[in-house]
Amino acid sequence: MCRPQPGFAAVDPPQQWVPTRGRFRPERLDAPLETLPGVGPTLQKRLGKLGLERVGDLLDHRPRRYERPAPQKRISELFGDEEVLIEGEVIRASLRRGRGRLQILTAQVSDGTGQISATWFNQPWLKDKLSPGTQVRLRGQPNRFGFAVKSFDLNGGSATADFAPVYPASEEISAAKLRELVEAALPFAADRPDPLPAAFKAARGLPLRGDALTVVHKPRSLAEAEQGRQRLAFDELLVLQLALVRRAAEREEHVAAALLPPGELVERYRAVLPFELTEHQESAIGEIDADLARTTPMQRLLQGDVGSGKTVVALYALLRAVEAGRQGALMAPTETLAEQHFLTIEGICMELGVSCALVTGSVKSKLGGRADIVVGTHALIQKGFEFRDLAVAVVDEQHRFGVEQRSALTEERSPHVLHMTATPIPRTLALTVYGDLSVSEIAKPPATRKPIVTAWVTDERSSEAYTRLRAHLAEGRQAYVVCPLIEESATSTARAAEQEADQLRAGELKGFRVGCMHGRLKPAERRELMARFKARELDVLVATTVIEVGVDVPNATIMIVQEADRFGLAQLHQLRGRVGRGAEQSFCLLISGPKEELTESAHDRLEALVASTDGFELAEKDLEIRGGGALLGARQSGLSDLRFARITHDRELLEQAREAAASLSPETMAPEVDALLGDAEHLGES
Ligand code: ADP
Ligand code: MG
């Protein structure tokens, strides 16, 4: 049929096109849930607690699983207790009270071949719906009283269908109610615009977005549901990747000064190092040199396990700035870590004739922002602190800074930036979240190092652990004892650490020199303590997790972690990295409560730690145990926006999304990308 148009369309467009019947009406998805039949203010509020506010949210509520298919039986054939479907007509229904507050609803159902009494618990309102003559379809199990109903449909409906979706529900809203609501929202699935070009979808065999939503909620097979999920997951990953492409493009607009090739200063640096750089360190340095030669600011992530030798590489980058007559800065997330870095760097700098300053909340060396190399904490990005001429910035443990803090360092200066992390990120996550950074990896520690031997024992054998520890001390080695985590406050953790130290001085470690390190010490006290430990004036450091990062004493060869089951996997791995820093064989002894009292995930964590010293492998494991959001801080990473993607399983899909993002026009999915980046900008420290 031909619609009459005023004039020629190309020449005289009408004021408004006549709407086509099949057009998208995305506004219907933005309507509040109250617009759906049967949703009043109370239900709307309860749904709100599940994060469901608009009609579209229901469509994005991914089923947790699907019902298994069950055979349909005639009532006369019922036998055994296998889950089955029956269909029939209600003869009569009655309600009675059971024990306590239990309410039992029983309906006699007949299908012509036989009759059975079907039971529901605590759903008294159903009685009125089960009037004689009502057609029912029931899924459940036959038992000796009759038939226990798991789900049902009255006069049609699809709750009992094979592969019926089961949604994440709450105490206040049942999975059945959610199923009903999603079903009511499903006709609007076609109103979700599909932003992907048709040719693109055809080439990859991707279903339409609306169809994908429909089959995710109403699949005819599990394979179909998975196909739908993959399409939706692809969209989510694509949005993340497009955001990364855009961010990278924005950065290309900034200009940094290109540095001349490596010169005499870094030559001397190599000469004063008491060791040869490893192959991995050399290749990281090569990559950094290539970045520094460009006028686009470097944005590189240096990944490497604890003790793999990142700091040596970082100092190289800083010295490259110094030899160009400019300035380098290293920013660390805690004072302890900044001080540690300063101690390491200062000595070498002195030998090289390079000036070096420490700037933290409590320490400001006189030189401050004029030093060749400035090491510090957030103090570096506070108002009032001025750099002389910042050319290279290193951000250590970069994931512990918020987006704003990281950008405060680069704002209006565009230095070359090297991000460091000792919390290795599994490749999928790294691509998802840091896909806009180039990555250098120090995959192996210096060869002189032996892998740490880790053992896990329970409380009753803790005295054996201390016997081992004393043996190390007797040989002139040093040790750490990590105190249990106490959640209440830094003060109570500190107190517990002091008490523990006192007990050990009087007991297991009698005759040895025991220091105690915790977050309540003043920075000067902490510094002094560390210096004494380094100078071997102390044999043992009893500590809270403040020693987690940065502490570097190669003579410390054994560590006991008490109540190890209370720490996270990444944290334990970090803690363990305090030993094994020299050529000696090192040990880490994890002590926990009785194995049968531990949670399954605590069990998994400790076992993983005993089995592996490889940070990347452990990070993968951690991802499996905890999921992506928890690993990185969900808000920081945009991972909380992933509803259909499963970061641990969707590697292939992620690679595809990455490729696609590079080939699609930057405007693709612009509103979604805006929303994602807009969110990220409001993030503070996480
Ligand atoms: P990270 O910062 O990755 O935790 P560091 O740079 O602090 O590791 O190095 C850990 C220890 O290994 C330091 O004591 C450092 O001097 C030493 N080290 C670094 N590189 C080498 C190397 N190539 N050969 C031998 N020892 C090294
Ligand atoms: Mg380090």
In order, the DSSP letters of 23-52 are ---THHHHSBGGGSTT--HHHHHHHHHTT-
Predicted local confidence at residue 570, as pLDDT: 81
The CB of 309 under 6 Å from ligand 1? The reply is yes
- Residue 311 CA: which ligand 1 atom is closest? 6
pLDDT tens profile 458-495: 988 999 999 999 999 999 999 999 987 666 677 777 78
Predicted local confidence at residue 10, as pLDDT: 57
Count CB atoms within 10 A of the CB of residue 250.
Answer: 11
pLDDT tens profile 348-363: 999 999 999 999 887 7
Tokens of 31: 């309507």
Question: Best substitution site from 269, 270, 306, 311 to test ligand 1's pocket, by max atoms within 8 Å of Cβ?
Answer: 311
Radius of gyration of the chain (CA): 32
In angstroms, the CA 283 to CA 442 distance is 9
pLDDT tens profile 34-68: 888 888 899 988 888 888 889 999 998 888 889 88
The CB of 422 under 6 Å from ligand 1? The reply is yes
Predicted local confidence at residue 28, as pLDDT: 83
- Which residue bears the tokens 């009502």? 134
- Ligand approaching nearest to the C-alpha of 582: 1
The CB of 307 under 6 Å from ligand 1? The reply is yes
The CB of 473 under 6 Å from ligand 1? The reply is no
- Looking at per-residue pLDDT, the higher value among 306 and 529 belongs to 529
The CB of 581 under 6 Å from ligand 1? The reply is yes
Q: Is the pLDDT of residue 675 over 80?
A: no
- Ligand 1 centroid distance, CA of 275 (Å): 9
User: 682: pLDDT confidence band, cut at 50, 70 and 90?
Assistant: very low
Predicted local confidence at residue 627, as pLDDT: 58
- Ligand 1 centroid distance, CA of 480 (Å): 19
Nearest to 87 by CA among 95, 97, 98, 77: 77
- Looking at per-residue pLDDT, the higher value among 560 and 597 belongs to 560
The CB of 448 under 6 Å from ligand 1? The reply is yes
The CB of 275 under 6 Å from ligand 1? The reply is yes
Q: Is the pLDDT of residue 637 over 50?
A: no
Q: For residue 553, give Cα distances in angstroms to 221, 335, 478, 580, 675.
A: 59, 18, 9, 9, 46
- Ligand approaching nearest to the C-alpha of 304: 1
In angstroms, the CA 26 to CA 194 distance is 11
Q: Is the pLDDT of residue 594 over 50?
A: yes
Q: Is the pLDDT of residue 411 over 90?
A: no
Backbone angles phi, psi at 137, to 5 degrees: -125, 125
Kindly report the protein residue whose alpha carbon is nearest to atom 15 of ligand 1: 309
- Looking at per-residue pLDDT, the higher value among 542 and 671 belongs to 542
pLDDT tens profile 369-390: 899 999 999 899 888 888 999 9
In angstroms, the CA 482 to CA 559 distance is 7
What residues have CB less than 8 Å from 573, skipping those under 6 apart? 306, 609, 615, 618
Predicted local confidence at residue 19, as pLDDT: 64
pLDDT tens profile 95-118: 998 888 888 999 999 999 999 999
- Looking at per-residue pLDDT, the higher value among 120 and 175 belongs to 120
Out of 128-142, 242-256, 671-685, least confident range: 671-685
Predicted local confidence at residue 681, as pLDDT: 43
Count CB atoms within 10 A of the CB of residue 137.
Answer: 20
E strand map for 122-259: 135-143, 146-154, 165-166
Paired with 138 in beta bridges are 86, 152
- Ligand 1 centroid distance, CA of 460 (Å): 36
In angstroms, the CA 490 to CA 223 distance is 51
Predicted local confidence at residue 556, as pLDDT: 95
- Residue 306 CA: which ligand 1 atom is closest? 4
For 439-445, what is the mean pLDDT?
A: 84
The CB of 106 under 6 Å from ligand 1? The reply is no
Q: Is the pLDDT of residue 603 over 70?
A: yes
The CB of 549 under 6 Å from ligand 1? The reply is no
Predicted local confidence at residue 683, as pLDDT: 33
- Ligand approaching nearest to the C-alpha of 310: 1
- Residue 305 CA: which ligand 1 atom is closest? 3
Residue type for 12, please?
D
The CB of 550 under 6 Å from ligand 1? The reply is no
Q: Percentage of residues in the chain with pLDDT exceeding 90?
A: 38
Out of 162-171, 423-432, 441-450, least confident range: 423-432
Helices 279-292, 310-323: inter-axial angle, 10-degree rounding: 30
- Looking at per-residue pLDDT, the higher value among 194 and 92 belongs to 92
pLDDT tens profile 256-269: 889 999 999 999 99
User: 457: pLDDT confidence band, cut at 50, 70 and 90?
Assistant: very high
Kindly report the protein residue whose alpha carbon is nearest to atom 20 of ligand 1: 309
In angstroms, the CA 67 to CA 179 distance is 12
Report which DSSP code applies to 651.
Answer: H
- Looking at per-residue pLDDT, the higher value among 587 and 125 belongs to 587
Q: Is the pLDDT of residue 636 over 60?
A: no
For 66-93, what is the mean pLDDT?
A: 90
Question: Best substitution site from 269, 275, 305, 312 to test ligand 1's pocket, by max atoms within 8 Å of Cβ?
Answer: 312
Paired with 118 in beta bridges are 107, 147
For 512-522, what is the mean pLDDT?
A: 88
In angstroms, the CA 392 to CA 304 distance is 20
**Is 423 strand, coil or helix?**
coil
In angstroms, the CA 392 to CA 39 distance is 58
The C-alpha angle with vertex 350 and arms to 442 and 282, in degrees rounded to 5, equals 20
- Ligand approaching nearest to the C-alpha of 348: 1
The CB of 312 under 6 Å from ligand 1? The reply is yes
The CB of 308 under 6 Å from ligand 1? The reply is yes
Q: Percentage of residues in the chain with pLDDT exceeding 70?
A: 88
Predicted local confidence at residue 507, as pLDDT: 92
What residues have CB less than 8 Å from 171, skipping those under 6 apart? none
The CB of 278 under 6 Å from ligand 1? The reply is yes
**Is 495 strand, coil or helix?**
helix
User: 633: pLDDT confidence band, cut at 50, 70 and 90?
Assistant: very low
In angstroms, the CA 386 to CA 47 distance is 51
Predicted local confidence at residue 635, as pLDDT: 42
The CB of 552 under 6 Å from ligand 1? The reply is yes
- Residue 278 CA: which ligand 1 atom is closest? 23
Contact 397, 353 (CB under 8 A): no
What residues have CB less than 8 Å from 410, skipping those under 6 apart? 297, 393, 417
**Is 392 strand, coil or helix?**
strand
Paired with 300 in beta bridges are 418, 438
E strand map for 190-337: 299-304, 327-331
Predicted local confidence at residue 7, as pLDDT: 54
- Looking at per-residue pLDDT, the higher value among 628 and 613 belongs to 613
